[in-house]
Copies of this chain bind each other. A is one copy, B any other.
Amino acid sequence: MQIKILGNGAGGPFHGRNYTAQVLQAENHFFLIDCGEGTQQQLFRHKVPYDRFQQIFITHLHGDHVFGLIGLLTSYCLKKRSKKLQLFSPAGLQELVEHTARLCGILFPYPLEFIEVDPTVSRQVFENKHVEVWTIPLHHRTACTGWLFREKPRLRNIRKEKIEEFSIPIALIPGIKAGAGLSLPDGRIIPNETLTVQPAAPRSYAFCSDTAPSEAVIRTVSDADLLYHEATFTETHREEASISFHSTARQAAEVARAAGVKKLLIGHFSGRYTDAEEHLAEARDVFVDTYIAEEGAWFEV
């Protein structure tokens, strides 16, 4: 799994930062997470295959996370999309999209499915062959959910030299990858451990924007390999963070440390900051493995 950052700004497009949107790639599946204004321009700029999304996950209905969605859906019309698109979000997104479409004369030539999720609990809301997606209850001033992407356990990896050594027929390989032993014509049984090696452990990515620091978040994202946590403010504006249900960079790092995640990405920087160097220093004081969600960067989960 890897993620690409399309924007890391909160509020207006100040200092050239774009609005929140990320692409998660799991094997050959691409998911879009949040869709602030200009996301489709960012997808083109960064050469992401924007027509590969079959699921889009929206945290909440504030403009800096959702105002790019209707434009992307409209561009799919122009490109004559026919594949179904699933939109996951708290309540209200269907009304927003359908009302705008009606007023602006948009007829979607592809099926749109709206999946309304409960932002107060952690539940599995999607799965495919490779990943499960769970909600993360966030603590914001409007209904807001984070998204936890969990890879499913992989099949064991077969040792190539064993295929030759025992002349293993292709038909038996899926069974062996799933854990079976091998019965040879001479009656010997070769145990699975001899034929295969342990696959890479499943990875997980937790996306948490926007939220005040929260115990529920800590519980839900525990042990994630990579946590993205908003860090709208620095400690200088801790009071303002509290009033607006946002976090400081230090608070984001405290959440990462308490949850025992492996790495922390911070973003959603307020327009009052020219850059995020102070955020980074503040977070690394608490949690060393912190990185800025730089626009255009890919991060391995």
Query: Per-position contact with B for A60-75: 1 when CB-CB < 8 Å, else 0?
Result: 0111101110110011
Q: Which residues of B contact A45 (CB under 8 A)?
A: 16
Partner of A71, one of B44, B63, B104: B63
Cβ B37 vs Cβ A71 within 8 A: yes
- Are B75 and A11 in touch, CB under 8 angstroms? yes
Residues of B within 8 A of A271 (CB): 78
Q: Is the CB of A67 within 8 A of B66?
A: no
A211 to B131, CA, bound (A): 47
List, in ascending order, chain B residues with CB within 8 A of A104's CB.
61-63, 66, 96
Say how far A108's CB is from chain B's closest CB, in angstroms.
12
The reply on A135 being an interface residue by CB < 8 A is: no
Structural contact, A74 and B63, CB atoms closer than 8 A: yes
Residue A189 CB within 8 A of the other chain = no
Query: What are the interface flags for A218-239 relative to B under an 8 Å C-beta threshold, 1 for contact and 0 otherwise?
Result: 0000000000000000000000
Q: For A18, what are the chain B residues with a Cβ–Cβ distance below 8 Å?
A: 41
**Known interface pairs A70-B67, A74-B63, A78-B11; A40-B40 also in contact (CB < 8 Å):** no
Number of A interface residues in the complex (CB < 8 A): 36
- Could you tell me the distance between the alpha carbons of A70 and B92 in the complex, rounded to whole angstroms? 17
- Assembled-state Cα–Cα distance A95/B100 (Å): 9
A273 at the interface (CB under 8 A from B): no
Residues 93-133 of A, flagged 1 when their CB comes within 8 A of B and 0 if not, give 00110011001111000000000000000000000000000
Query: A63 touching B67 by the CB < 8 A rule?
Result: no
A46 to B: closest C-beta gap in Å:
12
Residues of B within 8 A of A67 (CB): 37, 67, 70-71, 74
Within 8 A of B (CB), among A18-43: 18, 37-38, 40-41
Shortest CB-to-CB span from A43 to chain B, Å, is 8
**CB–CB A37/B41 < 8 A:** yes
The distance in angstroms between the C-alpha atoms of A257 and B140, with both chains bound, is 58
Asked whether, in the complex, the Cβ of B41 is within 8 Å of the Cβ of A40, the reply is: no
20 A-B interface contacts by CB (under 8 A): A11-B78, A12-B44, A12-B75, A12-B78, A12-B79, A13-B44, A14-B44, A16-B44, A37-B37, A37-B41, A37-B67, A37-B71, A38-B38, A61-B103, A63-B74, A63-B106, A64-B74, A67-B74, A78-B271, A99-B99
Identify the 10 closest CB pairs spanning chains A and B, nearest first: A12-B75, A37-B71, A13-B41, A38-B38, A63-B74, A11-B78, A67-B71, A61-B104, A96-B103, A92-B103
